[in-house]
Structure 1
Amino acid sequence: MTMKVLLTCGSTIAMTAMFAAAPVAAQTTTTPAAPASATTPAADQAAAAGAIPDAAAQSEDIVVTASTGERSRFRSSISVSQLSNEAIQNFTPRSVAEILRNVPGLQPSDTAGPGGNANIGVRGIPVSTGGSEYVALQEDGLPDVLFGDINFGNNDYWIRFDQNVKTVEAVRGGSASTFASQAPGAVINFISKTGEKAGGEVAYSNGLGFREHRVDFDYGAPIDDTTRFHIGGYARNGGGYTNENFNILRGYQIKANLTKDLPDNRGYIRLLFKRLDEQAPTNTTTPSLATVKGNTISNFQPLPTFDGRDGSAYSIYNRYFQYLDYDGGGIKTAEMQGIHPRVTSIGAQFHYDISDNLTLDDTIRYQWISGNFTTQFINVTNRVNTVAGVSCAATSPGANGVIGSCVNGQIVGSIRYAAGPNAGQVYTGSYINNNPNINTLMKNMNNFANNLTLNGKFDVGPGKARVTAGVFVMKQNIVQDWHVNRQFSELNGTNAAPLDLFSTTGTQLTAAGQAGFNDNWGSCCARRVDLTYTDAAPFLQVGYEVGGLNLDASVRYDSVHGEGTAQGGVAGPTTQVRDALGVALIPSLVLSATPEKIDYTDHYVSWSLGALYALSNNTSVFARASRGGRFNADRRVLSGNFNADGSLNAQGQATSVNFLNQQEIGLKQRGGVLGGSYSVEITGFHSTLTENNYDFTRINQPAPNNNPNISNGYRSYGVEFSSRFNAGNFNLAVDATYAASKIVSSATAALVGNKPGGLPDFLFVVSPSYDAGPVAFGVSVNGQTSTKSDDFNLYTIKGSTFVNGFVTVRPTERVELGLNVNNLFDKLGFRGGGSLGPTVSSTTAVFNNTALYGRTVTGSVRYRF
């Protein structure tokens, strides 16, 4: 099967090469400029000169991510993309995940909002549990956290894009398996400016039609002939893109670095600092109405009281809520902040040329990380129970919360507003929200990372050999308390009020809408974890280059040790709680007195083999095969994987590591056409994965998708396409991914042969722009084809296409006025899968998923100096 796929991809690439080369033959071949340095890529040089970067010359930028840092994009046998700061800023990404839409091969569900919590898939491999299982986010070469899918600690929580970033570089597949840990799918590296040339900028931006005020600045410069610095950051506050009536979005980031060149130009020492302290909203479900025709869901429309484009769970009536402390502190109050990361980071980079043939590099960093995930989830259900004959056991907590259902051992007879102008009045709306409020305290997410490499270059026969040996060590703490409370509120996109439930005999069952402490998802999720994982990974790469041929082989050995404890929930006290309507007795779960112990070590080997041949100065082809491991960490606790002494039991040993196998063939072409310059990169890929994992969020879902144990085999094949073209003042970027995915094996027999839920076959981004100097403008069209609702393929969800745009006016040499629009046509649409909620008619139902934000317009003024 693999050979057939590769031959098919090879034929596609060959035809594309013929098409790309044809116009070049009609004119003089364009020879790219001399290679730009790793610190000053071609894009930066062109921007400094006030010109559009030459598309062909950009392919000579040195790749520093998941590589030796010795080769250009054109001469590297890997699939790599480089996004400049200016190109990203033009389209005002509202989250890190939105930036990643511009990287072919990635499948980000970029609907979670600026706080993060996005799912980031790669090359048709699904995100089964949440987060970024096979994708690492790095800052200056080190991952922000060791695992991209930590429960309540995903890697996009801890990183922000701003003017400090010079380039975002993305490597998919290939050497990501052996030059990085826990990221066989892709490595995304946010590379900082370092002050080679004096200059900077300050900018103020303001939401037009929503409250967000933001100030950005950065400045870098040489201090003397051997010393330079860069410093920058931002501060912002406001109601966020859904324009809340309080500052749900507020905080700042400061980053700085200082570089000292060593004598005789033999290297440098660089110190780095970062402080991030920002609360930002994260979105869960933003429901809509949808047309259901057969098994197809389409034609999304707002609900009467909730519009997914600007509706939100954040409300002036839920800014604070109560939770039950696990350490005997009684009832405490949490502030609704979305995701609030607090990161203080110090690090250093050391580069030294021991000789002309031997180079030593070391990157080291320590991060103090804490924060909280404090938000309101949304789930839509009917106000009145449609199931007759409900009876309640005395100990039944219930979950539905609607009239006629059971809550805390009693039948609900009425629902009343618990706050707001209608407090005390009977609630008669069609729907209620019965999803929890959550307060996860990320008490200690500190980590330490160090990556040491020794690079050697030697003449061997007619060519040159390159040997890279290194070791990566990272220690990651995961110390958290989870408080997941049963909560009820009206379904309203603006300032939803909590709802109190009363029994048929008039007993108040909730207070301020809360029906239970720590018990919404059962005993799994009244949880405390105190875990530490240490990954030690030596790696080796050997390469040989002769003429246009470049061969390399690499291997990595990861040894991961996990230790600590995890506690689940047991029945706790019933607490008397008062609100404006009266007193309710609220049940709870507290921590088990018998924690699960974790104390074990597991290891695995990853490898990669690659070859590239430069057919000419303008055309190269490459092939690569690789296998990368991915360690299952905190998501495996409290799910039957450990013996009493903390060692892995038989199930744990069989499921502790997932392996991603990939084969790639690719074409890289550059040159001149139609009076301009272009570059094209095409990669055909084939991927297989056997994944074992555990997703506690499935426990309370409707059958059949309610089994938390995941044991599936996946197969995916497809093509990544990336091209850049510029002629005069015109620039065009086109990125697209086709990925055909399939579940080929599963412990759940009904899944075999299905398409993984939430993955489109085709994604694309087309971005033309024009820069005439005094005026620049452009649009970006991004979209995807339909997806399946879930792994059972119950429904097909229609895909959506969105348009962003920008206009920049430069009235004087150093001043820019900008207008940026996201979702220009205010389209209501979704990424990923989803599920159906209550039925409205024979052809209409409530659709549960997270919509993209509606149209948001930002005005800005920028001064460069």
Structure 2
Amino acid sequence: MRLSQPYAISSLALAAACCWTAPALAQEQPADGTPAAQDDRAPIAGEDIVVTAAAGDKSRFRSSISVSQVSQESIQNFTPRSEAEVLRSIPGLQPSDTAGPGGNANIGVRGIPVSTGGSEYVALQEDGLPVTLFGDIQFGNNDYWLRFDQNVERVEAVRGGSASTFASQAPGAVVNYISKTGDKEGGAIALSKGLGFRESRVDFDYGGPITDTLRFHVGGYAREGGGPTNEDYNVLRGYQVKANLTKDLGEKGYIRLFFKRLDEHAPTNTTMPSLVTIKGDKITGFKPLPTFDARDGSTYSIYNREFQYVSRNGQLDTAKMNGIHPKVTSVGGQFHYELSDMLTVDNNFRYTDMSGSFVTQFLNVATTASVLGSTVNGATVGSIRYAAGPQKGQVYTGAYLNNNPNINTQMTDMGSIANNLGLTGKFDLGGGRVTVQAGWFHMSQNIAQVWHVNRQYSALDGENPAPLNLFSTTGAQLTAAGQAGFNDNWGSCCSRAVDLTYTDDAPFLSANYSGGGLDLDASVRFDRIRGEGTAQGGVAGPNYTVTDEVGSATLPSLIPGGPIERINYKRSYTSWSIGALYAFSNSTSIFARASRGGRFNADRRTLGGNFNADGSLNAQGASTAVNFLNQQEIGVKQRGFIGAAGNYSVEITGFRSTLTENNYDFTRINNPPPNNDPNISNSYRAWGIEFTGRLNVGDFHLAADLTWVNPKIKDSATATLAGNRPGGIPKLTYLISPSYDMGLFAVGISASGQSSAPIDDFNTYTLRGTTFFNGFVKVRPVDNLEVGLNANNLFDTLGYRAGGTLLPINGTSGIFQNSAVYGRTITASIRYSF
């Protein structure tokens, strides 16, 4: 008999779990599964109550969902350089954690690709409410707006399953940063400094009781420096402060108030090029370019710390190259109260004032020869010269240059109001218990932005690249300070101004039965979203005569002034999830789940031909407004004790995902054919296995997270893509972290990496997989004092996490481009706890 894929996955998962756990199962004595002398042993992972995408009364072990809980200390040990690096601790997620501390990472899940940018199917939350309503807002991704620091108690993540019904716009996964709340008195202050690169940081936090019923927690950080690429000016600078105050209402509940302020400039990186060897369809042998090393090269420069742009009203203005600059002020509150033994009310509210800017220099490698002889601003390019720096005015002789735009997006209003109200009832039924929760989620998200995308040329140099000016064959200057035009790099679509508001109202209902070892649950969510506002593309503006250090040039422009696209429509859809778990004992459980979750396409649909004149959806817009992600999963959870001083936990989940996606990516317009169609219409299928294992024996600890996935493009409007693997998704990703902590001394290392993957959906080339190592050493010479060293990319490996583009040089070599993993960075720290 031939087994179906889901059945085969579940069989493999159960077999693997039995192999891992068989030796330890023999040590469990009582028939009811309660380990002998349990109160004398260390706690086993899985007892923490799941508060993310759940009703809030189940432990991880008894929840029929795939959930991970990562502690503050586990994350801190490896000094993540970005929020996406934090997420690498979670199996099933696919973060391309190379964009830098400012954010702008692509975050996929379970083989479903990120076809446009951001995190289309993954929500990032703080204390149970989403940071942004949509994870892939253009120039407003959700990882811009939050920072991991000492305020976070743990990071909790739910993949698939109930993410579809306990959160909006997150059918793939929900990742929740859960704050400390002062239930344990104490705090810490820490100072850290980069060794070999300029970065200084101070962290602090403290919390505890004020009275018997009142407690607080406050903390934050401040940092400055050249960032991981060690720029010659403080491209990284800013701070975050968070605080909360909790009033306990006897044993019935609590009221909690939150405050947060984030104001930080942080770099973000796009493509970092490397020389590669081409063997057939395989890309391997990464080497630095003579003038650019992707491990520490950068487009940030003392020669481009500011640049000119044309404002919406047609005036020349100046932007500072600040990377991503989020400004966030939020206040909120939580209310939890048991009205009776059977009925509990919960409400979670937050108001957020958010704005900022995205100002950076993109990079794309082009041959100098391809620019010479081309037509720029109506003239033939005859020569290229340095526009600034020690070689100002001299002819540029490099074989390659950067012809990607500089970006200045003003995010004038990205604020939101969010509220989640839930009413939970519990009652006995036969020999079990029924829990029913009904609630209402409301969130209003503003997206007000003005884009400035300027054509630009600069030297291909990893350290302080200088702008390049183009001159015609007759000697006329065609560019100024490297810029060839204002707001016109991606055409009229992208000299845009948008003023949008999306409002999501979502009633939800869940029911759970728990009796003996059996848990059954079902949930449904009904999202009703309204989009309103205006969007305006560009029209030809006046020419501007601009003077730089060399001379002057007359540059064309686009300015927002095209027809106003009105947006005024509503869209409703239903998401559902059903699951079951059976616990054979308090050591072994199995679960199965099926779900369907909707994902609304928001601001990425503007200026793409999706609306009628009155703002309603036309036929194209109506058919592509919502994408649905269907998932089935089956898994086993096993845990137990090893002798008197050890324990372990293992979770293995087999999954299958299907998605039909319609979207629009304007950045593809400038790609070489056939990958230059901005319209995306693909059907995907992925199935695979997630493995999470934890082993603690005395002072030794081992964490292992692996995901194996087999993704496929089942169908596509681009016929040649059907049957291919989605670009940039490896079949295997892994994070393995052994550590040893004897109190006075602690040491650990982690290995994270992936197998090979096609660089794009056309599967023309496959990129070699790479493993990267991090490590830490801690010494605690006296009580409460800790001195440490943390190393990221310990062996200074040159490599990449995901797909990209290839510029062939000849049949056996080329230049590969994508965001590279930072080279080795070592941080020294001293921490005092009190």
What TM-score do you get using the length of structure 2 for normalisation? 0.98
Matches within 5 A, 1:551-630: 551-630=520-599
Q: 1:171-227: CA deviations, max 9, x gaps?
A: 000000000000000000000000012100000000000000000000001001000
Could you say if the C-alpha distance between residues 611 and 195 of structure 1 is closer, same or farther in structure 2, counting changes exceeding 3 Å? same
Contact 1:381–1:838 at 8 Å: present in 2 too? no
Is 1:546 the counterpart of 2:533? The answer is no
Identify the match of residue 433 of structure 1 among 402, 405, 409: 402
Q: 1:745-767: CA deviations, max 9, x gaps?
A: 11111000000001010000000
Q: Counterpart amino acid of 2:748?
A: G
Contact 1:314–1:495 at 8 Å: present in 2 too? yes
The structural deviation recorded for 1:838 is 4.9
Gaps of 5+ in 1: 37-41, 47-52, 386-401
Contact 2:729–2:802 at 8 Å: present in 1 too? yes
Is 1:694 the counterpart of 2:680? The answer is no
Q: Counterpart amino acid of 2:232?
A: N
> What does residue 173 of structure 1 align with?
160
The percent of aligned pairs where both chains have the same amino acid is 67
The structural deviation recorded for 1:18 is 2.2
The structural deviation recorded for 1:9 is 1.1
Task: Please give the secondary structure, in 2, of the residue aligned with 1:70.
Answer: coil
Could you say if the C-alpha distance between residues 544 and 281 of structure 1 is closer, same or farther in structure 2, counting changes exceeding 3 Å? same
Contact 1:775–1:809 at 8 Å: present in 2 too? yes
> What does residue 732 of structure 1 align with?
702
> What does residue 475 of structure 2 align with?
506
Contact 1:68–1:468 at 8 Å: present in 2 too? yes
Identify the match of residue 461 of structure 1 among 412, 430, 434: 430
Question: Distance in 1 between the 2:28 and 2:115 partners?
Answer: 50
Task: Please give the secondary structure, in 2, of the residue aligned with 1:818.
Answer: strand
> What does residue 692 of structure 2 align with?
722
Identify the match of residue 261 of structure 1 among 248, 255, 280: 248
> What does residue 317 of structure 2 align with?
332
Ranges of 4+ aligned residues in structure 1 off by more than 6 Å: 30-34
Is 1:373 the counterpart of 2:358? The answer is yes
Question: Distance in 2 between the 1:218 and 1:566 partners?
Answer: 43
Identify the match of residue 646 of structure 1 among 615, 621, 637: 615
The structural deviation recorded for 1:701 is 0.3
> What does residue 107 of structure 1 align with?
94
Matches within 5 A, 1:93-242: 93-242=80-229
Question: Distance in 2 between the 1:595 and 1:72 partners?
Answer: 51
Q: Counterpart amino acid of 2:443?
A: M
Question: Distance in 1 between the 2:18 and 2:29 partners?
Answer: 15
Question: Distance in 1 between the 2:660 and 2:452 partners?
Answer: 32
Question: Distance in 2 between the 1:696 and 1:33 partners?
Answer: 58
Matches within 5 A, 1:780-799: 780-799=750-769
Task: Please give the secondary structure, in 2, of the residue aligned with 1:86.
Answer: helix
Q: Counterpart amino acid of 1:303?
A: L
Matches within 5 A, 1:350-429: 350-385=335-370, 402-429=371-398
Identify the match of residue 326 of structure 2 among 331, 341, 353: 341
The structural deviation recorded for 1:58 is 2.2
Identify the match of residue 605 of structure 2 among 636, 655, 660: 636
The structural deviation recorded for 1:462 is 1.9
Identify the match of residue 278 of structure 2 among 260, 285, 292: 292
Is 1:316 the counterpart of 2:302? The answer is yes
Question: Distance in 1 between the 2:23 and 2:432 partners?
Answer: 33
Task: Please give the secondary structure, in 1, of the residue aligned with 2:574.
Answer: strand
Question: Distance in 2 between the 1:202 and 1:17 partners?
Answer: 41
The structural deviation recorded for 1:844 is 1.1
Contact 2:25–2:640 at 8 Å: present in 1 too? no
Q: 1:450-488: CA deviations, max 9, x gaps?
A: 000000101112211110000000000000000000010
Question: Distance in 2 between the 1:344 and 1:283 partners?
Answer: 26
Identify the match of residue 444 of structure 1 among 405, 413, 421: 413
> What does residue 390 of structure 1 align with?
none
Contact 2:28–2:35 at 8 Å: present in 1 too? no
Is 1:703 the counterpart of 2:673? The answer is yes
The structural deviation recorded for 1:545 is 1.1
Q: Counterpart amino acid of 2:7?
A: L
The structural deviation recorded for 1:33 is 9.2
Contact 1:2–1:686 at 8 Å: present in 2 too? no
The structural deviation recorded for 1:412 is 0.4
Question: Distance in 2 between the 1:822 and 1:8 partners?
Answer: 38
- Coordinate RMSD, CA, aligned: 1.6
What TM-score do you get using the length of structure 1 for normalisation? 0.95
Q: Counterpart amino acid of 1:22?
A: A
Identify the match of residue 765 of structure 1 among 701, 721, 735: 735
Question: Distance in 2 between the 1:7 and 1:822 partners?
Answer: 40
Q: Counterpart amino acid of 2:719?
A: A
Question: Distance in 2 between the 1:231 and 1:541 partners?
Answer: 34
Is 1:57 the counterpart of 2:44? The answer is yes
> What does residue 279 of structure 1 align with?
265
> What does residue 256 of structure 2 align with?
270
Identify the match of residue 517 of structure 1 among 473, 483, 486: 486
Question: Distance in 1 between the 2:73 and 2:385 partners?
Answer: 52
The structural deviation recorded for 1:3 is 7.6
Contact 1:484–1:521 at 8 Å: present in 2 too? yes
> What does residue 849 of structure 1 align with?
818
Question: Distance in 2 between the 1:122 and 1:593 partners?
Answer: 38
Q: 1:826-845: CA deviations, max 9, x gaps?
A: 00000111111251x43111
The structural deviation recorded for 1:731 is 0.4
Q: Counterpart amino acid of 1:704?
A: P
Contact 1:33–1:57 at 8 Å: present in 2 too? no
Q: 1:419-462: CA deviations, max 9, x gaps?
A: 01111111111111000000000000000000000001011122
Contact 2:35–2:641 at 8 Å: present in 1 too? no
Question: Distance in 1 between the 2:502 and 2:26 partners?
Answer: 58
The structural deviation recorded for 1:673 is 3.2
The alignment of Structure 1 onto Structure 2 pairs a total of residues equal to: 830
> What does residue 530 of structure 1 align with?
499
